[in-house]
Structure 1
Amino acid sequence: MYALTPFQFLPSHIARLVANYVVGYRDSRRFRDMKLLRPLLYVCHNMRAITLPLYFGFFRLTLASSVSNSPMEPKRRESKDLDHPARHLARYLEIELNEVDIYSGRALQMLSCEPYDGCLFPLARQVAFTIGLGECIWAEQSVVAANISAFVQHIKQTAPVANTYQLSTKGPRVVTPTMDNHFDDLATQLFRLVGQIEYYHSCANSLELQLDGVCNLVRIRDITTGHNNSTFTRLARRNALTLESLEINLSSTSGFADTIQDTDGVYVTYPRLTTLFLGGGMAASSVPPPVFKDIVPFPSLRCLTLSQRYPFGDDVFFRGNAATLEHLSLWLGISTVAALREYRLFTPRSHPSLQRVTIRCFGDITPDTFASKADALRFVLSIGTQTPVRVTNIPVTGAELIGVTTSLSNHASIQVLSLSRTSLDLWQVVTLVKSLLLLSDLSTAPPVIGTLPDGIVLGELPAYVVTTFVPMGPRFRHWRIVSHHDNDMGEDNVKCLLFLALVCPNFTYATTLFSPRRGLNMEMLERAIASDMFKPYAQRLQRFRYLDD
């Protein structure tokens, strides 16, 4: 019998937040450790009802323990996966198996026997297939086709309401026309059921798979692929009228151009596309980028992500969507900056719906991107708009950052600044907080111990706070410290955090990532607050938390 606890009287949405925090939903990972949820199952009826769908929300059926083509006996990762009466609560189903087992019919045979016989996941919306590619199978085409169809129908019966199939391939593969046809048939039948495509091909040394059947699918709403395959460019053009989300990796400007213009030179418009992600490793080229005049390919675009160089010679991405574009994520490079400056993207009236801008830097800033790091920072920090801006991964030193920050007069748009390889001393952090008025989140390496502002040393802190206390950084609330093990946080660093908590009224917590002192942060914090230096301010600092991320 469950005891009556305070959790019994919590509103459901509050109890759900507690469970989500325990399971790790606060980061991008799907699940951190499901075993952490087990104690919550026995707190009270209310918490059990909230926790069960999370605890049993993920099931894995493993028909192969490796990605080789050798037959493997079926096994279960967790005994609860197939035996527990709460199995019907699963929202996400993962199936790991080998390619040849599908074609030979062995996969269907394993799913029809114990312990998989009769498995039904009536609430599963997502089914992820991890398929180990193998050698050629010697069987008649008609037999393989029948086995593929039977397997797909069995999956449909196992998860009848699934609306997303994610297909991932692993392992070395000798690509042959026969095996290509088999895999193409499997992918086509799966994706046709749900009207969207998620495909990831992780075989680095194998040839490109020819998916002609997939390319002929119509009425597709979403395409997500991490593979540089021209098939998906053709597929996007074919489904331009229905496509709502496109995430694709391309390695050349011609690949980008192919999404807008077909082989006959006819321009393509995506009237319903709201999310566009264009990634890949496009190298610098002496060929002039393509120019598209007088066309509006993305009139409804809301979210645009470019994770490499700006691929076009004009503003084709930003035409006709000034009233709809809300989120913009860009790779920091000279071509991107030139495009933004020329098209005046950040002027107050250019895109009134723009809500967030993220600017990232991959690798070092080189002469082909900016003349210097200072030029890169000056451009980012001087964006003249009230649109919140997130800046990540710019490789600069603390002195370079402060030098540029203090030389500019308008930094009001920077909300998130992530410099995980940059160490700042406390004076530099205070200068940064005073300059970036909207800064709320800061991510750096562990701070360098130095003097406090105006030459105040740690021992003189109480008098300084009493006589010259001026609140600063009204929105600054979180400092995320990325430890690199060779420069970890110590007692003096914690005192720096507490000083910042005194002068920044909303700075309430700091977190450490990858710290070898994991679990000791709060102990150091409590000792620092109890010291003579901070004891007079213990009540003011009682809200401050220093946690592991």
Structure 2
Amino acid sequence: MPVVLHVDKLCYLVHLKFSSEGDMAQSLQLARQNASTLQSLILESNHHIDVCGLVKGTAGCYATYPLLRILKIFEHLSDSEQHRPVLDGVVPFPGLRHLVIERPYPFDDDTLFRGNAATLKCLGMVLDSPTGSMLCQYKVFTATSHPELQCVNFTQDDIRLPHPFTTAAGFMQFMLSIAPKASVREIGGFFGCTELASTLPLLENHVSIQVLTLVNISLEFWDIIALIKSLPK
């Protein structure tokens, strides 16, 4: 017998995790309802997750999550061409520390990054053409922003449009510049070993790196030796 969830009776929640095979409208409603108390929120689905629904309710009002420290969104069947809304002037996650988005970035502006430059410690996301353009347009990362950011995990999506991130050099340069003090970095993409190997000298000036993980990247033996030699001393 299916269980009926009375969303209106669930209040003052601190931690919330949803894993769904279908529509998550009710889950998003529950999250908005507990926006003032939530500290961690994890959403996972094999279908499209309307992330805008976390911030904007059906009545048009906006939710703010002042205590939220962890936001993780996992969408296993994503469409990079989906609509990406713009939410002007909204600061929904002002105290965020951990942001992980395993799907195309859901907005066409910096909504998820507003107000948390001083608190964000760990960032993981898919970097495609629209996301890269957004980060540059809104100057999300500057030389002095995000002083607490220590862990940066970027996976390059299959970028089909002309974009600086279509080359390993452009992608690596951006990765290393957004958080100069970050000590843990994970890089994933669709680069060949020769192309990536040519960018390894870029690592030499980044002495803060303590852990470097390469995901879905094949390196030949001599490239691995070159990588080891290029790592900060």
TM-score (norm 2): 0.83
Q: Counterpart of 1:301 in structure 2: which amino acid?
A: L
Query: CA shift at 1:384, angstroms?
Result: 5.9
1:290-439 equivalences under 5 Å are 290-361=85-156, 365-368=158-161, 370-383=165-178, 385-406=180-201, 410-412=205-207, 414=209, 415-419=211-215, 421-426=217-222, 428-437=223-232
C-alpha displacement at 1:417, in angstroms? 2.5
What are the superposed Cα offsets for residues 51-89 of structure 1, whole Å, 9 maximum, x if unpaired?
Answer: xxxxxxxxxxxxxxxxxxxxxxxxxxxxxxxxxxxxxxx
- Structure-1 residue corresponding to 2:42: 247
1:237 alignment partner AA: R
Residues 382 and 404 of structure 1: CA distance in aligned 2, closer, same or farther (over 3 Å): farther
Contact 2:154 2:187 in 1 (8 A): yes
Q: Distance in 2 between matches of 1:219 and 1:412?
A: 44
Q: Which has the higher helix share?
A: 1
Whether the aligned pair in 2 keeps the contact of 1:346 and 1:385 (CA below 8 Å) is no
1:406–1:392: structure 2 CA closer, same or farther, 3 Å change rule? closer
**Cα distance between partner residues in 2 of 1:220 and 1:247:** 13
Q: What per-residue deviation string (whole Å, max 9, x for no partner) do you get for residues 315-345 of structure 1?
A: 1111111221111111122223223223333
Within 5 Å, which residues of 2 pair with 1:34-183?
179-180=1-2, 183=3
- Gaps (5+ residues) in structure 1? 1-178, 185-210, 438-473, 475-549
Large movers: runs of 4+ above 6 Å? none
Alpha-carbon RMSD across the aligned residues, in angstroms, is: 2.7
Instruction: Using structure 1 for the length normalisation, give the TM-score.
Output: 0.38
Structure 1 residue 224 corresponds to structure 2 residue 17 = yes
Structure 1 residue 224, shift from structure 2 partner = 0.8
AA matched with 2:10: L
Cα–Cα, structure 1 residues 393 and 320, in superposed 2: closer, same or farther, change >3 Å? closer
The alpha carbon displacement at 1:248 in A equals 0.8
Distance 1:243 1:286, change over 3 A: closer
Aligned residue type for 1:293: D
SS of 2:198's partner is helix
Deviations 1:349-373 (A, max 9, x none): 11112122111346xx341585345
Q: Aligned-pair distance for 1:252?
A: 4.2
Deviations 1:176-202 (A, max 9, x none): xxx22xx23xxxxxxxxxxxxxxxxxx
8 Å contact from structure 2 (residues 108, 130) kept in 1:
no
Structure possessing the higher radius of gyration over alpha carbons: 1
Determine if contact 1:247/1:277 at 8 Å carries over to the other structure: yes
**Letter of the 1:394 counterpart:** G
Aligned equivalents of 1:302, 1:286: Cα separation in 2: 27
Structure 2 stretches of 5 or more lacking a match? none
CA contact (8 A) 2:129 2:159 kept: no
Aligned residue-pair number: 226
CA distance in 2: counterparts of 1:321 and 1:307, whole angstroms: 19
Match of 1:32 in 2: none
